[in-house]
Amino acid sequence: MLRSCAARLRTLRPGELWSFSSEKVTPKDYAVPNPSWSKDLQFLFDQFMKKCEDGSWKRIPSYKKTLTEKFKDFQTRFLEPSHIKEEYMSKAQLFTRSLEDGMGFEYVMFCNDVEKKVVCLFQGGPYLQGAPGFIHGGAIASIIDATVGMCASRTEGFVMTANLNINYKRPIPLCSVVVINSQLDKIEGRKLFLSCNIQSSDEKTLHTEATGLFIKLDPKKRLT
C-alpha cells in the first residue's frame, strides 16, 4: 500500500493533490491566498469573503485545467472528435494559471448572480511586464476577458468572446493590486453585452474601462 501511494505521489502533475479517501485526484484551487499575495490582495480577499457570508456573493474556484465533466460537456456539444488531440490536451492549461505563483496572474473572482456581476481581485506579477515597471496591455486585456467572460458564462453557460473594446486610462504598476468590476448590461438573443472597469485597490485611480460582446454558443452548431 505504501509503495503504491509513493509511486502515485511521484507521478502527480504540479497543482494536483491526491485524496486517499476517495482514491481520486483532486484539482488544486488557485483562487485562494498563497505566499505571493500582497497585504492589499489579502485584505480585499478577506473583505469579499465576509460578503459571502450572507450568500449574496460567492467565491469562484479556479483551476489550471478545465474540469473533466465540463470539458466533456463542451466537447460533446461543440467539437468534432477529430479536433481533440490527446497529446496536446493532456498538456493544456488555462492561460491565466500557467505561470508559477506570484510571477504572473494572481487573482480571485467573486460573483453576485442576482445582480449579474463578477468582481476580480488581481495582482500582476513581474512576468507580465510591458513598459518598464508596468503591466503589459495584453495581460490586462487577458484578465479583462477572463473576468467579463466569467460574468457572461454565469448567466448563459458556454459563451465565446466576439469583441472587446478597451480604453487604457492609466498604466497599472507591476505587482500592484487592482479591482476589476464587471456586469452584464443586456441580452439580445444570443448576444450578451457587458461592461467593466479597473480601479486601484483604494478606488482613487481609474486604470481601464472596457465593454465586451459575447455570444452564447449554439449546441446545434459545431465550432470545428
Active-site position among 145, 185, 202, 218: 145
Active site residue 145: yes
Amino acid occupying residue 72 = K
For residues 5 and 20, the answer to whether their CB atoms sit within 8 Å is: yes
Centre a 10 Å sphere on the Cβ of residue 204 and count the other Cβ atoms it contains: 7
Nearest by Cα to 204 from 170, 175, 174? 170
CA distances from 41 to 45, 149, 176 (A): 6, 22, 9
End-to-end CA distance of the chain, in Å? 45
Instruction: In whole angstroms, give the CA distance from residue 7 to residue 2.
Output: 9
User: For the chain, how big is the Rg over CA atoms in Å?
Assistant: 19
Active site members = 145
